[in-house]
Copies of this chain bind each other. A is one copy, B any other.
């Protein structure tokens, strides 16, 4: 039997989503980290990623200032660090200190990336699509550089070796089974 939900709760139906950590840096050169699950590829060629971002977030200010960001892919072991980055604001706290993550220099952007993550995607803002009546803007990023942990990836993540961090909502998480099914039609 199906039941109706309040329409504002539709977001839960689309989860669990892979969690990502987005690093940003504003004019003061202090890097910040936000947890973002509402992210998806938009275009493969040219390579463009898009994600939803609240205007109230500190990283919205930082991205607006410097027009750059890095998408870092955490695995299941980094659940606590991801929740930290999603709970506190970079306005008041240094999230690299908080999480003990290691900054590494990016190749194409000034924003550093996170060493402990299994993949990093360096991006330059292509456009911020802002519709005033919505509670998030859409950030479109041109992908400039992509790196992955080599033993975990071959055309796709090797889920037999890897537990991705899947966010269910709030402080709830899960992960994938360690099996890949190849389907035929």
Residues of A within 8 A of B (CB): 1-18, 20, 37-52, 71, 73, 79-80, 83-84, 87-88, 119-121, 127, 129, 131, 133-136, 138, 140, 143-151, 153, 155-157, 159, 164, 166, 168-177, 179-185
Give every chain B residue within 8 A of A6 (Cβ-Cβ): 146
Q: Give the number of times this chain occurs in the complex, counting copies.
A: 2
Known: A4-B145, A14-B40, A83-B185. 6 other contacts (CB 8 A): A11-B41, A12-B157, A16-B159, A46-B133, A48-B134, A172-B180
| Contact between A87 and B138, CB atoms less than 8 A apart | no
Give every chain B residue within 8 A of A18 (Cβ-Cβ): 14-17
Give every chain B residue within 8 A of A127 (Cβ-Cβ): 131
- Which of A16, A42, A48, A171 has the most chain B CB atoms inside 10 A of its CB? A42
Shortest CB-to-CB span from A138 to chain B, Å, is: 6
Give every chain B residue within 8 A of A181 (Cβ-Cβ): 79, 172-174
Give every chain B residue within 8 A of A171 (Cβ-Cβ): 182-185
Shortest CB-to-CB span from A103 to chain B, Å, is: 15
Whole-angstrom CA separation of A29 from B49 in the bound complex: 34
Shortest CB-to-CB span from A41 to chain B, Å, is: 4
| Contact between A8 and B134, CB atoms less than 8 A apart | no
